[in-house]
A = this chain, B = another copy of it.
Amino acid sequence: MSTHRTLSAALVPALLALTVPATTVPASAAPAQGTGTAWEIVEGLTTEIGPRPAGSEAEDRARDWGAAKLEALGFRNVRVEEFKTLAWTRGPESASLTAPYAQPLAITALGYSVPTPRGGLKAPLVYFPTLAALEAAPAGSLAGKVAFIDHAMRAAQDGSGYGPYGDVRRKGPSVAARKGAAAVVIRSAGTDGHRNPHTGVTMFADDVKPIPAGAVSNPDADLIARTAARGKPMAIDLTLLGKPNPGATSGNVVAEMPGRDPSLPIVVLACHLDSWDLGTGAVDDASGCAIITAAALAAQQGGQPLRTIRVLWSGNEEMGVRGGGGEHYARLHGQEPHAVAMESDFGADKVWQVKFSTAAADKPLVDKVKAALWPMGIVPHDGAAEGGADIEAIIKAQSLAVIDLGQDGTHYFDLHHTPDDTLDKVDPAALQQNVDAWAAVLKVIANEPGPIGKFTAAAE
């Protein structure tokens, strides 16, 4: 998998001494390296596949890569389960402020944006400091104009800013379209200060005609805000040629570590294999696949668990709001008995909290999980465990118990959906801490002999 780590240091000078130009082993600038199964999965996916947009040929290659990797690691019943999906394909994209000052803007289109004219859309740019300010604009008042929506997302350890501030991306384009806007540009839903805009899916409501929609980086949004504050009319030249790609093929990779008692409901662990196209999907979500897979293996140490542990490397999570891997999984596997569902899809930083959505009768089991995590400094929180997009459908279908191992998200939205989502952002030690925490939980729940209860928020 990672041959350069097996080359001895003694070999390096000999290779450097070669005077024939050749592909020699990197010596001077080798980045920090990890070891173990989880690292190998993140390193392999990001190096040998890279960006894996939903419905793309690269996502297909990633499924083959994943299936081969899971086979090699000793998983059983490894299979690829393809499905059709409404994907989206990026096109050329650029933008400039043209008035009152000419300035290039770092921009990227949002998923499900429709294209501008090929030569660009030239229009007045209207500044809205918040989504609420845009919502207050009269219907039709933005005809022929481009709306800019600002906001003030800040970093938070639990990532809670992404809910409300992420709505600028999710809902803002529909609101702008409803006001008659020709296009919409938002401040990226992100917490960094780099010229890397954050992409992500937007959802056009059924009652609006989709419009071109893009996000500028935070420094560019700052520039627009400063320019707006000067009070002179602004104008933009906007080219976003990405467009929806219906009928694309995505797919899940599913594999198992069989339990000693096949009659017991299984534990399903999910991540997603697809990534946004701008980065290599290292933290979103190769790390999740790495963590759950390495943990499923680590849980075998000390004896085969009672219950089967299934891993789901889901396809099309990112564009899956209209039919992704999680829904397809529930469609194919909704009749098979599940006990607990868990997902890892929040980067590669350390687990710091645990949350539960479990039947009241399972308090002894929950206490056992808490005790297993206690020596790792992982603190129980009262909020409901919600899983993630790739297990949402199966949780709903079977009223499943859910355990969330909450990762530190302070820096997650610096990287999320940007070109910066690359391997160098993964700390091998933090990645391994995730594996250890997941394995600790699995050793408890996959060895639970008694029934594990159903959970419905209303019932508990």
Binding site for B on A (CB under 8 A): 2-4, 7, 16, 19-31, 43, 46-51, 58, 101-104, 106, 126-130, 133-134, 136-138, 141-142, 145, 147, 150-152, 179, 187, 193-196, 218-219, 221-223, 225-234, 279-280, 418-420, 422-425
**Would you call A127 and B26 a contact (CB within 8 A)?**
yes
**Would you call A230 and B4 a contact (CB within 8 A)?**
yes
Minimum Cβ distance to chain B for residue A131 (Å): 10
Q: A27: which B residues are within 8 A, CB to CB?
A: 129-130
**The residue from B24, B29, B150, B151 contacting A151, defined by CB atoms under 8 A apart:** B29
Compute how far the CA of A276 lies from the CA of B388 in the bound complex, rounded to whole angstroms.
43
Minimum Cβ distance to chain B for residue A299 (Å): 29
**Would you call B130 and A28 a contact (CB within 8 A)?**
yes
Given contacts A126-B21, A229-B4, A420-B195, contact A150 B222 (CB under 8 A): no
Minimum Cβ distance to chain B for residue A286 (Å): 13
**Would you call B22 and A126 a contact (CB within 8 A)?**
yes
Q: A147: which B residues are within 8 A, CB to CB?
A: 21
**The residue from B24, B138, B195 contacting A128, defined by CB atoms under 8 A apart:** B24
Q: Is the interface of A mostly helix, strand, loop or mixed?
A: loop
**The residue from B4, B179, B193, B221 contacting A29, defined by CB atoms under 8 A apart:** B221
**Would you call A219 and B424 a contact (CB within 8 A)?**
yes
**Would you call B29 and A195 a contact (CB within 8 A)?**
no
**Would you call B19 and A136 a contact (CB within 8 A)?**
yes
Given contacts A21-B134, A194-B420, 15 further A-B contacts (CB under 8 A): A16-B129, A19-B138, A21-B126, A21-B141, A21-B147, A23-B127, A26-B225, A26-B226, A28-B150, A29-B187, A29-B225, A47-B230, A51-B103, A195-B196, A195-B279
Q: A419: which B residues are within 8 A, CB to CB?
A: 106, 194-195
Q: Nearest chain-B residue to A181 (Cβ)? A: B21
Compute how far the CA of A425 lies from the CA of B46 in the bound complex, rounded to whole angstroms.
30
Compute how far the CA of A225 lies from the CA of B102 in the bound complex, rounded to whole angstroms.
38
Q: A7: which B residues are within 8 A, CB to CB?
A: 229
**Would you call B196 and A24 a contact (CB within 8 A)?**
no
**Would you call B48 and A16 a contact (CB within 8 A)?**
no
Compute how far the CA of A1 lies from the CA of B230 in the bound complex, rounded to whole angstroms.
9
Q: A24: which B residues are within 8 A, CB to CB?
A: 127-129, 133, 228
